[in-house]
A = this chain, B = another copy of it.
Amino acid sequence: MRGSPPKKTQPAKTRPLPQRTRGPSVEKTAQTRRAIVSAALAEFLEKGFANATMDAVARRADVAKGTPYRYFPTKEALFEGVVRQEIAGALVEVNAANRAPGEKVGAFLRRTMLPAMRVVERQGRGAIARLVLTEGVRFPALVEIYRRAMFDPLLDELRKLVKSARDEGELKTDLRVERPQLLIAPIWYGIIHNGLLDRSQPLDIGDLFEANLDLLFER
């Protein structure tokens, strides 16, 4: 392990002038961090938080046992790092303000959320949600992070959108603003189904969500 060259060692060559600060390679640092987070994600998904060992993460990232600690002071911090990274940029563009003039709410949701759903399915965001689900009891901090970064903001937007839809006579039913959860319930169900209940016959979460939209909004 000592001195073992990390996987990619032809980094700085093709870039123009990968500015160094003083001291050892900045390139490698970023690479190492990425390797660690990525290894950690894999470990956590495979084993869950409690059963994942820092040792295994390090081995998987092909770094020494102590290296992850240079980036994350504790196992919890590493977990948080993973979640944050996966969530960053995932804050779907579901922003009520982005609705085009004249665009129906249902159409807007279809346009903005469906692509995100596709991502959820291809391992990633959904897996993280499942992780929060399975480790949340033991690790409440995780739930906090998740809610703050992802869940609560989304719910806020949905509330606004439902209100608009009702005002504009687009709602087929009397879905109340206080229950925007009914909009996303199928997504959670899909995550549970695909991640736990029946991995062999995964549901298409996008389809599920769309079917639910049809129940609620006029075409």
Contact = CB atoms under 8 A, between A and B. Distances in A.
Interface of A: 23, 47-51, 64, 130, 132-138, 143, 147, 151, 172-176, 179, 181-182, 184-186, 188-189, 192-193, 195-198, 203, 208, 211-212, 214-216
A182 B215 contact: yes
Contacts of A215: 172-173, 175, 182, 215-216
A212 B143 contact: no
Contacts of A181: 186, 189, 193, 203, 208
Nearest to A64: B23
Nearest to A173: B215
A48 B176 CA distance: 35
A217 to B, nearest CB: 11
Is the contact region of chain A dominated by helix, strand, or loop, or is it mixed? helix
B212 A182 contact: yes
13 contacts: A49-B50, A133-B192, A134-B135, A136-B196, A147-B197, A176-B211, A179-B208, A179-B211, A181-B189, A181-B208, A182-B212, A185-B188, A215-B215
> Which residue, A147, A174, A179, A188, has most C-beta atoms of chain B within 10 A?
A188
A205 to B, nearest CB: 11
A165 to B, nearest CB: 14
A182 B143 CA distance: 25
Given A134-B134, A173-B214, A175-B215, A182 B196 contact: no
A172 B214 CA distance: 11
Contacts of A64: 23
Contacts of A195: 137
Nearest to A193: B181
Contact of A48 (B138, B193, B214): B138
A51 B138 contact: yes
